[in-house]
Structures are given as C-alpha cells and as structure tokens.
Chains A and B, each alone.
Chain A
Amino acid sequence: MSRDALMAIAAAREINDGEVAFIGTGLPMVAAYLAKATHAPTVTLVFESGIIDPAPLELATGVGEYRLAYGATAIRGTRAALTLLQQGKVDLGFLGTAEIDAYGNLNSTTIGDYRRPKVRLPGSGGANDIASMAARTVVIARTGRRRFVEKLNYLTTPGHLTGPGARRQAGLPGDGPIRVITDMGVLGFDPVTLRMRIERLFPGFTPDQIQAEIGFQLEDPGEIVMESAPDAMTLELLRRIDPAETYVKLQEK
C-alpha cells in the first residue's frame, strides 16, 4: 500500500466543494486536483505566486511554473494573493514542515541557534501567512521523532501556539490547524487542550506505532476511525494527475 496515495487521498478529503483553498507545491497540489476531479469540482485554488483558479493540462512542479498558469481566471501579484488570506477569503490552506510540536506549531527556519544555525532551512515563505490567516489549515508531515518534537528549534509558523486563547492574543484571525496528515494516519487536536491526538489510522497501523514515531505524548484519542484501502478509480485518478509520480508514488519502495 502506498503511503503517499493514502496521504494525498486524506488531504483531498479535507477540501470541501465550493471552498477557496490556498495550495503550495508538492502533495497538496495533487490532493487539490484529486478533490477537484471528485467531490469538490467547484473549489477555487489560489497560489502564492498570484495564480488564481488555473486549469493546468499537466501537473506543475512549482507554484511559479508556467504550466500552472494555463487556464487561470486571474493572475495577480503575490501581495494580492496573500491579501486574500487576510480578507478571510481563504477557507483552507495546506502546510509542510521540518519540525512540528504538539500544538501544531511549525519550524521551517533553522535548526540550532538563529544567528549561527547548524542547518539553515528555507524560511517561512507564505506558510506563516496561511497558518495565521486561513480559516483552517491542514499540516502534511511524515512521522519521525526528529520531526514531531516537544520543543521546536524556531517557531516559524503558528499552530495553536501555547494553547487555548493564544492565537487571539497574538492577533491571528484564523482558527489554526485542524488536522495533521502523516504517513501512518491522520492526527487531530483535543478540543480542550488543543494538543495533538490520533483521529484515523491508515490500514495496518496501530496507535502505539504512531506514538513511537512522535517525540511528545499524544492526548488520549476519542473514537479512532480505521481507514480503508483506496479504490481502483481513486488510484487511477492519482495516476492521471501525477503520471510521473513526482509527488505521489503509487508503489511503496
């Protein structure tokens, strides 16, 4: 079973028909076009490069790529695209990360001291803006104790910050992350503590297996949903959207 496919399908499920979704490069692009081809044909996709609602004939390898601009209904500047977030026009944004903590805060800036880092990462880009201002966000992150950490090296992108009430105090309009899609299952957030817990498991995985790959204690789950294997038609759609398997490999190595 391909974990990529399960992650892309889980990400597509987060997109509702009629919504506006802010999409970055990678697996979210495949998920967005899967949602558009299935349950969300009228979703409007927006990209930080300023491309609005395109109809690309081929999968783009970046948000600034000319392939992505084909069929766009509007092309604006980066400011206009990001202002859509501030205006409350964006329902959903996807985020990736190098590190994530229990509140869904993310680091994509540095490992080690800020001024003399051990590893300098690319920086926020639009991630902080999406996480601050989209109505809700979904994080996509493979499990691993170096990624899911108790304490971030640097807080680039806000999740629930220090817990209930912290986002409003910091002047952030959006509600923050609602899900974290991993390669073993889907995590959510405890409604009281806003710390992470398991919501759904991909076929063959157990709660203990996920906890073992996460560097902080997950909250007690509510009812856990067992995910079923994807059907042949969904896999065929993924194959058509990403024929070169650039972002979604259909066979596990």
Chain B
Amino acid sequence: MKDKRISLEEAIALVPDGCSLTAGGFAHSHQPLGFLRALIAAGRQNLSIMGVAECWVAEWLAAAGMLDKAWFSNFMFEGFGRCRRFSEGIEAGRIATEDHSHFGMVMRLVAGAERLPFMPMLSEGGTDIASTAGIERPEDKLRIVESPFGGGERVAVTSPLRPDVAIIHAARADASGNVQLDGATAVLEEQAAAARTVIVTVEEIVEAGEIAANPAATLIPGLYVDALVHLPYGAWPTGMYGYHDPDMDFLGSYYEASRDPASCTKWIDEHLRGPVDHWDWLDRAGVARLLALRTDPVLGYRPAEDAA
C-alpha cells in the first residue's frame, strides 16, 4: 500500500475554509489537539463540526472564531462544566446548531459511512430533537416510518452525514496508515468511514510487521486513510490511553481563562497561535510536565499518589 506519511503543514493544507470536520476523542481523551492547534495557528474560517464528543475541538474552534455550524450530540467538559465559547457562540447566534442524541449522530455517520440514504434506529422519536428546525428542516434529519415489511412497527429513520475531513489521533500506524488504538475508541471507525478525507496523527510510526503481528487490533485499515502524520503527544493536553493522562491543570487553565472573552482570546493567542510548530508547543509545556503525565502500564492511568 502507498506510503501515506506527510508533514503536519501538508496535512493542514488538506483542510480548506468552509469545510466540515469531525474529530476523534471522548471527554478528555484522544482528541487531535496537536493538529487542531496548528490549524488554529494557520487560520481558517467558516468551518462546521459534525461531532459526538470532541468537546475541546468544538470549543477551541469556537474560541478562535472559526466555527459557524455544529451538528452534534453533546459538548461539555466533564469535571469543569459547559463549553463556554461554544455555548455563548450559539446564544449570540454566531453558531447554528443541529441537535442529536449520541446514537442519532452516530447513525447519521453510519448512514454516510455505508453510503445508504438512511439508517433505521429506535431513539430520538417523539422529542424536539425530531421536530425542531436547526440547520436542517426536521423532516430532512429524522422521520418516523412504518416498517416496509408489514406488521405496523414504527421506527425512526435518519439521513446520512458525510464530513469533509475526519481528524483522528491514534496510538500507532505503519507507513500505509493501518491504525491501532488502545482503550475506548469512541466513534473513530464510523468517523473515518464517513468522511471524504481522513487525516490521522499518531504517537508512533511502526514497522508494517508490527501491525501485521496483531491485525485484530487494527481499528482503521490503511485503505480509509489519506494522510498520516507522526505527531507524538498529538492528543495533549487531552490524554492518550496507554501513553499519558490528560493534563487537567493545563485544560483547567484554559477553562479559567474562558470565563471572560478577552482573557480567553489572550489564552488562545498565547498558547495556540503563539508556538511556531508542534515541537515549540511541546517545548513550552516542558519535558518534565509531559513525562510526569505518563501512565502506569498496568493500571492504564497515573495512580492518585503519583499525581499528587
């Protein structure tokens, strides 16, 4: 298979103004924030997000003034609270929304991934998710139909979503982009299969034989992947299972700054737009800080006494 490796700068160029993104991750875990930082530093406008749980991606795009639309199911910061710039952007009418349940959002991505005109499912019916116009007309998102096979069973059907670009941070891949990831994967498989362009950043590039030695662990086969970027600590300050915990102090420093639009902009300028490249971003964090986040290989996290 073709060698998919490119530089971060080349990968950033694959994301044009006005495109729709979907990004990996869940809560404070494996969000592609190294890539996102570089995208924000490069500057883009009028982006959309089609997401399930990539709260930091949505929030930082909103804080950088780059986000116009959001198809999503839930963005909030566990342990902190609501995503302020994202939420206030909606309240101010700057960001248009289309709400879903998690399963509803996943099934729209599945319909897109399977190239089907709709997917049946058994949630969302009877609610304002099904009946309120957001970005789309309600009937273009969800309808309740009777089974075409008789019996009168009523079932919701939901229409496909195909994001222009999926951005995923994973543990390891070979040069062809056969991707493996440890821990909870969230929606990565569906996102990769639904998106028109798939960019993967990884902690480690390994020999092809290492992937082939454990093929059952390959989450996304290389044939889905368009671009592969070697980006250690590419999820930081969110965590990466098997590598490091989330950096709750750094995430907390953003959350504190986001109380006020002016201090938030200052934080974004300093921390996201300031670094000249990924290595400068990590240098500013400091090697001691980054290494202190490394997880216990048996537990899968940093035990409380080490973290203290």
Contact = CB atoms under 8 A, between A and B. Distances in A.
Q: Which of B133, B184, B245 has the most CB of A within 10 A?
A: B184
B180 to A, nearest CB: 13
A221 interface: no
B28 to A, nearest CB: 7
Interface in B293-308: 295, 299-301, 303-304
Given A122-B75, A171-B144, A65 B28 contact: yes
Interface string A176-208: 000000000000000000000000000000000
B78 A25 contact: yes
Contacts of A122: 74-76, 82-83
Nearest to A61: B79
A62 B81 CA distance: 12
A49 B90 CA distance: 26
Contact of B28 (A64, A75, A85, A158): A64
B78 A61 contact: yes
Given A65-B28, A66-B245, A77-B189, A155 B122 contact: no
B46 interface: no
A166 B121 CA distance: 17
B126 A86 contact: no
A69 B241 contact: yes
B123 A79 contact: no
A125 B128 contact: no
Interface residues of A, number: 59
Contact of B132 (A58, A82, A133, A154): A154
A171 B73 contact: no
Contact of A124 (B27, B74, B183): B74
Contact of B27 (A63, A85, A161): A63
Interface string B104-145: 101000100000000001111111110011100000000010
A120 B90 contact: yes
Interface in A73-128: 75-79, 82-83, 85-86, 105, 109, 114-128
B265 interface: no
B186 A78 contact: yes
Contacts of B123: 85-86, 128-129, 132-133, 172
A123 B73 contact: yes
B202 interface: no
Contacts of B132: 114, 154
B127 A155 contact: yes
B99 interface: yes
A64 B93 CA distance: 30
Interface in B22-64: 26-29, 52-53
Given A75-B183, A172-B125, A124 B134 contact: no
A157 interface: yes
B72 interface: yes
B268 to A, nearest CB: 20
B126 A167 contact: yes
Interface string A130-157: 0011000000000000000000001111
A169 B152 CA distance: 11
Given A86-B123, A128-B123, A78 B102 contact: yes
Contacts of A125: 53, 73-74, 101-102
A124 B129 contact: yes
5 contacts: A61-B78, A64-B26, A115-B93, A117-B91, A128-B104
Interface of A: 25, 48-51, 57-58, 61-67, 69-70, 75-79, 82-83, 85-86, 105, 109, 114-129, 132-133, 154-158, 161, 166-173
Given A121-B82, A158-B126, 14 more contacts: A64-B27, A69-B300, A75-B185, A77-B186, A77-B188, A82-B103, A82-B106, A85-B123, A109-B128, A123-B74, A123-B76, A132-B124, A155-B128, A171-B154
Interface of B: 26-29, 52-53, 72-76, 78-79, 82-83, 86-88, 90-91, 93, 96-97, 99-104, 106, 110, 121-129, 132-134, 144, 153-156, 183-190, 239, 241, 245, 295, 299-301, 303-304
